Amino acid sequence: MANISLIADKAGVSMATVSRTLRNPGSLKTPNQRRIIEVAKNLGYDFEFRETDSAKLTRQIVFLSFSNTLSPDTLHSYDTYMPIVKGISGVIDKVGYNLLVANVDIDNTPPPCLLRENIDGIIFHGRVPEEFYNKYIRKFPHVGIQHYNPRYECNWVKNDNENIAFQAVRHLYELGHRRIGFVTDYIEGLQHIERYQGYKKALELFGIQPDISWSALWQRQRKNGILPMENTIPDYTQRITELMNYATPPTALICCDTVKSQATMNALHYLGLSVPADVSIITTCNDFAIQQDDFIWTAVNDRFHDVCAQAARLLLDIIDGKMVDNVTILVRPKLHEGATTAKPGEQLIKDAGKTRKNKIK
């Protein structure tokens, strides 16, 4: 069956224009619309299928998540699902679009809405295989979020990960910290890589030479190709013990999310160290994860909700036929000062294989 991409190519118009015309083939007002219908008929487009299907499901936008980046459990967790749904729906509901949320499993099987082509646009998240992109996404108006891929000449919206790291380092530097570390168990993740790179750049901007001994970087295991959701707080005791037993251990740590921050705090408590009196912790999270058990983290809010909302606005512009010339939009984070950072009042040193505290004179 002829698809939207082929019709757009033959008619010399955008896929968004084809999509709007085929949703309402009985209302033809412009030469472009009439040409689209003529081309579609010549290519054997199944109008009966489209009209019957559209009667049930019209004006739909799908959020497409890839399990190679975000597990289905993580996608549907409160802290992830709410920014997606509220961010996108808050924009598209006003103009009459419905939101579908679909997951592409590790075998890259497309969801039914892509096969039926009864959607108007796609917002996708994750590492998208090139074959999948060309076959299922490229034909529709689409916007990618977070996992920028220069191979795909489309529009992107993402966190400003370098600025997230900069704001964290600046906050700690202004408090007086000079030995600032970084903790993540997902070092192969693109956002974590970008934040770690931004962390090193920020240290250098403030005249601090990065020291790898201040950081704990590793990759937790996948299961059947999927990084499982962390349903419980992991045990970082061994990693943090090694970190704090260096001759000049860090006085502050940057963690990539609240799970990693809580695991780091638990390990520090096990070592007899308190937060923030002994070690400061600054985390990264979004509006829906910034508060935990009435304990307020010092956090850089990555504004994932706003990333999703901006992607929705951009997609609507594309669907409406407005000229959008392959832009990449960075959403700047916001720092929230909480109870987990303070001025460094003590310096930790290694003494006879045990960690002890010496007051800074």
Give the pTM.
0.81
Higher pLDDT, 92 or 322: 92
Q: What percent helix, strand, coil does the chain show, rounded to 5?
A: 40, 20, 40
pLDDT per residue over 99-118, tens digit each? 999 999 999 999 999 998 88
- Rounded to an integer, what distance in angstroms lies between the CA atom of residue 211 and that of residue 49? 62
Task: Tell me: pLDDT of 53 over 50.
Answer: no
| Mean pLDDT score, 110-136 | 93
| pLDDT given at position 42 | 82
Q: Worst-scoring range by mean pLDDT, 38-52, 116-130, 201-215? A: 38-52
Kindly indicate the confidence band of residue 263, based on its pLDDT and cuts at 50, 70 and 90.
very high
| pLDDT given at position 356 | 39
Task: Tell me: pLDDT of 354 over 60.
Answer: no
| pLDDT given at position 11 | 84
Kindly indicate the confidence band of residue 6, based on its pLDDT and cuts at 50, 70 and 90.
confident
- Report helix angle 4-11 to 15-23, nearest 10: 110
DSSP 184: E
Task: Tell me: pLDDT of 262 over 90.
Answer: yes
DSSP 222: P
pLDDT per residue over 148-181, tens digit each? 999 998 999 999 999 999 999 999 999 999 999 9
What's the number of CA atoms in the CB half-sphere (13 Å) around residue 263? Answer: 22
| pLDDT given at position 172 | 98
Q: Worst-scoring range by mean pLDDT, 46-55, 104-113, 274-283, 334-343? A: 46-55
Higher pLDDT, 88 or 358: 88
Task: Tell me: pLDDT of 280 over 70.
Answer: yes
| pLDDT given at position 357 | 44
Task: Tell me: pLDDT of 29 over 70.
Answer: no
| pLDDT given at position 225 | 87
- Rounded to an integer, what distance in angstroms lies between the CA atom of residue 3 and that of residue 18? 10
Cβ count near 332 (within 10 Å): 12
- Rounded to an integer, what distance in angstroms lies between the CA atom of residue 210 and that of residue 181? 9
Q: Which is nearest to 291 in space by CA: 279, 303, 299? A: 299
Kindly indicate the confidence band of residue 129, based on its pLDDT and cuts at 50, 70 and 90.
very high
Q: How far is CA 232 from CA 228, 253, 258, 294, 311, in A?
A: 11, 21, 12, 18, 31
CATH superfamily to which 161-303+336-359 belongs: Response regulator (3.40.50.2300)
- Rounded to an integer, what distance in angstroms lies between the CA atom of residue 330 and that of residue 164? 11
Task: Tell me: pLDDT of 292 over 80.
Answer: no
Higher pLDDT, 37 or 235: 235
| pLDDT given at position 22 | 72
Beta bridge partners of 102: 64
Domains of the chain, residue spans: 1-56, 161-303+336-359
Average pLDDT, the chain: 86
The second-level CATH assignment, the architecture, of 1-56 is: Orthogonal Bundle (1.10)
Task: Tell me: pLDDT of 140 over 70.
Answer: yes
Higher pLDDT, 264 or 224: 264
- Rounded to an integer, what distance in angstroms lies between the CA atom of residue 178 and that of residue 299? 19
Q: Worst-scoring range by mean pLDDT, 79-83, 93-97, 295-299, 349-353? A: 349-353
